[in-house]
Amino acid sequence: MNLLLLGRGKTGEMVEEVARERGHQMEVITSEENPAAKALTPERLKDIDVVIDFTTPDAVVLNIVAVVSAGKNMVVGTTGWNAHLERVSELVSRKETGFVHGSNFSVGVNVFFGIAQAAAAALKLGFEARIVERHHEQKKDAPSGTASSLQQVLESAGGQRPEITSIREGETVGTHVMIFDSPNDTMMLVHDAKTRRGFAEGAVRAAEWIKGRKGFYDFKDIFRQLPPDVAKKEREA
């Protein structure tokens, strides 16, 4: 596929590496080259199959509008723009494009969401929950999109909206802890990202999945539909 990556931060660099490993053509436009989405013209996007965005909350909405308006499919790993979800969904429907967004593109984290839903049963049986998330000090949004998603899962499934504590320090990739406490016992469930590669692989595989499709999708709802990772098995053979 011909992919275009917006943003070359720490995760963006890994997306570029993974995409090339999987045999895709990858072009990159940095944030400095794309003020107010001005670089995303229909002519510039003409030969692109899917655009992947890992920029910033301040830039992402204008990028989305430009790409979708040009009729191109898109994967968005940037978080912090949930207030615009309905508007973007309507635009995607009107332009008949394909769009995947997610608070986290790690398959492990999305399995963790399912674990959270099962554990939420405890909230109706005398437990109280809280969430602690830790990320690198450069992360711009707090709480993280993943922590907010966990909060929504627990509230929907357990009827309790847990408090989120956000910590920004050092080079932490991303750690999320759900704590369930009662007078009798405590449960602690942890997802700890070792590297950003899990996010990058998920985003590239989402781009492979959305090619040729139409519709507005959340990664947590479609990650089970991803085909077996044949490319990874071939690399390891």
Task: Tell me the domain boundaries of the chain.
Answer: 2-105+196-236, 107-192
- Whether 84 is a known active-site residue: answer no
Q: Is domain 2-105+196-236 in CATH 3.40.50.300, yes or no? A: no
Name the active-site residue from 10, 139, 211, 232: 139
pLDDT above 90 as % of the chain = 86
| Residue 131 pLDDT greater than 90, yes or no | yes
b/e code 25-39 from CB counts within 10 Å (16+ = b): ebebbebeebeebeb
In which band, very low, low, confident or very high, does the pLDDT at 165 lie, cut at 50, 70 and 90? Answer: very high
pTM of the model: 0.84
- Whether 139 is a known active-site residue: answer yes
Digit-coded pLDDT (tens) for 37-92:
999 999 999 999 999 999 999 999 999 999 999 999 999 999 889 999 999 999 99
CATH number, domain 107-192: 3.30.360.10
Name the active-site residue from 101, 135, 176, 191: 135
* Identical fold between 2-105+196-236 and 107-192: no
3-state secondary structure of 144: coil
| Residue 235 pLDDT greater than 80, yes or no | no
- Sequence-ordered strand ranges (E) for 55-207: 73-76, 98-101, 128-135, 163-168, 175-181, 186-192
